[in-house]
Structure 1
């Protein structure tokens, strides 16, 4: 592991100069300070005692955890809007954002180590495997945390009203005359659970049964997987008249499946999505879906996190639930 002496040797300065530069002393020129910080990153320097975690002053820098393991990418419209709104709100309050990585120069570090190294005032977890040990370690730390679409007792969670959104969508499909409704739901999470409860309860309230084969686990924002799952549903001896996809991207996969099988949406089979992304309203027919206010999610997450950073004793670790909007497109047929 690199030491202050290694950095001093690389930059041809004294160890005291390195220490002052890394701790923000003003008697070190900006150019030299940046040179030393860059060298520290390249060498993978990390304070051995983790003392940066004990902050004496704010850095006005927020860490953003966005795992690329899910292949969503920053260009994904849902996350892009949330991140843009979060950044705008944080900037107004004087905060910068930095993405959290595993590698710091040649050294691999955990999410928590990176946060301590960067001395983040707080962390916004946008997309991650919430069952991963490193993520749980970060959430359980003393760093202020805000998450979206996942509830933790140790963090503030900002999410849409997934129960009510699925309840509205399911009731609309039933009101259109459908009784055989299949649901390709997402992988296990609090979001999936609440949507499933909304689906189950609405079907039960309308005295409609749910065949076991009509409930299929898919993958969020994966059109290819949902296309294959839809093919299986349509080929059942008693196929559904409507398929609800876990999200709009997945719904596009379901619609592709219908077309490839020589059928039409909604004449032969109806399709619904979730999220309300712009592309879902640009296709023909327009997708019936539930719109989440991504701009509101992002700005509210920033507001809550900054409140937690600046006024921790006046900010409770609660879940913030935002309203959703049913969009009645043209992909659900009236029977």
Structure 2
């Protein structure tokens, strides 16, 4: 079995440099890192995880807390792409990921107990009921924690810029001549609060009146709930000229209702989505939407969590805001 010392001798560097190169540390040059990795691959070197854990007192295992209430799991395109980016970046830095649940071998446990049992070095919380007592217990523990799209005091949070995203969408609709804008939003979460506040604030600044009947609550990623809200909006005596949907996937429910009513998009009614998933760009007409930078969200979460794990004394909690980008499709009519 090839040792790390043999790799170091072949490359003419120290054992420490080989270790840093193979573990993705940034304090060595790119050329050295690639040379070491190439030599290790050619020699068939594989790290001894048990020895590494003993030396560093780490498991090199990161927990992922992901609970999707719509029961779509990793078919949820938004979170699946965030988590894929998180996984890739974590693995580049030498860490494996494990999904957290509430049982160990059939025995009920808390999220924190599962993390301690698996000796997880840290946890990313990507989708969950943030008011769940077990989530609060985990967040209040001594484990390094990074949350995505939710803010806890004294914890690093990676936030998609929902305030700016909704402002950009409303402003775009205003420039297209729309003044009767309805908003179907998701369930009561921090994301929804930011989007809804931004919606009302932007409309107020632009002089757009928003009747209570124009604002409906559905659920994220729930086409059936969005369809019911769309039926109610179309039944209004003074119906909106444009409907903003909570996300691109749930828009499909609204789209079907609009088409079944014999209406045309965008000639009879305009629509916009949110997320910018692949599906939104192959629909006809192509959906105007706000694309969230899922790759940047996942990558930033991994970077911040590994920094907390490896440099706990010098890493402070941060709120990192990731901007999105408006994608102009063909679903909004110029009035």
2:70 and 2:63 mapped to 1: Cα distance? 19
Change (3 A) 1:330 1:84: same
1:246 and 1:141 mapped to 2: Cα distance? 33
Contact 2:276 2:327 survives alignment (8 Å): yes
2:241 paired residue number: 241
Matched, 1:178 2:203: no
How far does residue 139 in structure 1 lie from its aligned partner after superposition? 0.7
How far does residue 68 in structure 1 lie from its aligned partner after superposition? 4.0
2:273 paired residue number: 273
Deviations 1:12-44 (A, max 9, x none): xxxxxxxxxxxxxxxxxxxxxx9xxxxxxxxxx
1:161 and 1:314 mapped to 2: Cα distance? 26
Gaps of 5+ in 1: 1-33, 35-55
Change (3 A) 1:288 1:209: same
1:140 paired residue number: 140
1:315 paired residue number: 315
Deviations 1:81-107 (A, max 9, x none): 111111110011100000111121121
Question: What RMSD, in angstroms, separates the aligned Cα atoms of the two structures?
Answer: 1.5
* Residue correspondence of structure 1 range 1-335 to structure 2 within 5 A: 57-335=57-335
Query: 2:232 aligns to what SS in structure 1?
Result: helix
- Tell which deviates more after alignment, 215-224 or 67-76: 67-76
Query: 2:75 aligns to what SS in structure 1?
Result: coil
1:156 and 1:118 mapped to 2: Cα distance? 22
1:48 paired residue number: none
Contact 1:139 1:154 survives alignment (8 Å): no
Contact 1:140 1:154 survives alignment (8 Å): no
1:297 and 1:218 mapped to 2: Cα distance? 25
1:49 paired residue number: none
- Tell which deviates more after alignment, 251-260 or 63-72: 63-72
How far does residue 225 in structure 1 lie from its aligned partner after superposition? 0.6
Query: 2:83 aligns to what SS in structure 1?
Result: helix
How far does residue 313 in structure 1 lie from its aligned partner after superposition? 2.1
Gaps of 5+ in 2: 1-49, 51-55
1:241 and 1:99 mapped to 2: Cα distance? 44
Query: 2:151 aligns to what SS in structure 1?
Result: coil
1:272 and 1:119 mapped to 2: Cα distance? 44
Q: TM-score, normalised by structure 2?
A: 0.82
Contact 1:288 1:328 survives alignment (8 Å): yes
Query: 1:314 aligns to what SS in structure 2?
Result: coil
Contact 2:70 2:221 survives alignment (8 Å): no
Q: TM-score, normalised by structure 1?
A: 0.82
2:20 paired residue number: none
After superposing on structure 2, the runs of 4+ consecutive aligned residues of structure 1 that deviate more than 4 Å are none
